[in-house]
Amino acid sequence: MKSKESQTVIDPTTEEKIRIAARKVFTQKGYGAARTRDIAQEAGINIALLNYYFRSKEKLFEIIMLESMQGFIHSISGVLNDEQTSLQEKIQILVSNYIDMLTIQPNLPLFVLSELRSNPQELILKLNFKEKLIHSHFFVQLQQAIQEGKIPPIHPLHFIMNIMGMIIFPFIGSPILKNIGDLEEKTFNELMQQRKILIPKWIEAMMNVK
């Protein structure tokens, strides 16, 4: 019953199918353990097509990695640079968006962090993470709050570490945490939803520590 008119959602092109499959396999297994054959099978295509479209496993990987990180950076840079919101509001939105993203892609952080550990230099430089964060409105507000004495004068990175740690770690450690807490997927996700409200409060409380 699939008429031409109803086909508003067209099939992904071969190239897209490969990209989607590659993202899945790379994210699950990491570059070194991922097999091009796994990717081909996942995409339902011949292995040769992978090389036809992307030249090599490595080239394909670089594209996937860049896409993943750019998507992430893009998704937060809007929030970080909204000049209409306060520091607290930014944190609220950031936490909420981030948790939603990780609920959908729980394997992403472990993948990115693992590969950044083996690749470090090139990727980080290419993304220019540092500039984007440090020159953000968020960062200016953070340092301003420190100067005004509203926040204790500790290294701003401590806050970054704490926010990211509290958001990301539960997803990275979910197998252990689910085991410890006897949690089903559903209950785990409920806890994550609670954290959207709780983490900003916790951060707020931490910021008032002498």
Partner DNA sequence: AAATAATTTAATCAATTGATTAATAAAATA
Partner DNA sequence: TATTTTATTAATCAATTGATTAAATTATTT
Which spans of this chain sit near DNA (rule: CB under 7 A)?
A: 14, 34-37, 45-49, 51-52, 55-58
Distance (Å) of CA 108 to CA 18, 48, 167: 18, 27, 13
| All residues at 6 or more sequence positions from 77 whose CB lies less than 8 Å from its CB, including other chains | 132, 136
Asked if 73 interacts with a copy of itself (CB under 8 A), we say no
User: Smallest distance, Å, CB 10 to a copy of itself?
Assistant: 34
Which amino acid is present at 194?
Answer: Q
Q: Which of 11, 182 has the CB closer to a copy of itself?
A: 182
Nearer to DNA, 62 or 82 (CB): 62
- Which residues, 9 to 48, sit near a copy of itself by CB under 8 A? 28-34
Among a copy of itself, DNA, none, the one that 7 touches (CB under a kind-dependent 5 to 8 A) is: none
**Is 79:94 a contact under the CB 8 Å cutoff?**
yes
| Site residues (CB under 8 A) for a copy of itself, limited to 121-140 | 124, 129-130, 133-134
- Please list, in sequence order, all residues whose beta carbon lies within 8 angstroms of the beta carbon of residue 145, skipping any fewer than 6 positions away: 87, 151, 207
Please enumerate in sequence order all residues whose Cβ is within 8 A of that of 146, keeping only pairs 6 or more positions apart, or say none. 152, 153, 156
Dihedral (C-alpha) 103, 115, 132, 135: value to the nearest 10 degrees?
Answer: 100
Q: Which does 180 bind (CB under 5 to 8 A by kind): DNA, a copy of itself, none?
A: a copy of itself
Judged by beta carbon distances under 5 to 8 A according to partner kind, the member of DNA, a copy of itself, none in contact with residue 9 is: none
- 104 is an interface residue for a copy of itself by CB under 8 A: no
Does position 107 bind a copy of itself by CB under 8 A?
yes
Q: Is 71 in the site for a copy of itself (CB under 8 A)?
A: no
| Joined tokens for residue 50 | 């992978």
45 binds, among a copy of itself, DNA, none (CB under 5 to 8 A by kind): DNA
